Amino acid sequence: MKHPPEFLALVDEARTRIKELPPEAVKALINSGAVVIDVRDKEEFGEKHVGGAINVSRGTLEMRVPEVIPDKGTHIVCYCAGGNRGALATDTLVKMGYMNAVSIAGGLRAYEESEKGK
């Protein structure tokens, strides 16, 4: 999917404020108990997702995350399909005061590719 330049500019700006980690580093966080949030739409989540992930779509994130993750010190891993919505969601979480939110660099596609290399 080709994204509009305005969208990509927002993503690039968000990336200056967040941490994006490669899949291998994310796996260590997940194994140590980080909460994994899939910010894709419900239909996308239903097709495939990281094991144990919670689906909180990008469109409802600001409203739902306080009930799903009340502790702002919780380690959180956000992702989408390719990394863009995950970066925006992570930026939103940081702005909301979540201190340990990170995004998977390359999103679910990169995560799945790293699984193939095992």
- The residue from 80, 93, 105, 110 that is catalytic is 80
**Does the active-site annotation cover 78?**
no
| End-to-end Cα separation, the chain, in angstroms | 28
In the block, tokens 């404020």 appear at 17
Phi and psi at 12, nearest 5°, equal -60, -40
**88 CB-contact burial (10 Å; exposed 0-12 / middle 13-18 / buried 19+):** buried
Active site residues per annotation: 80
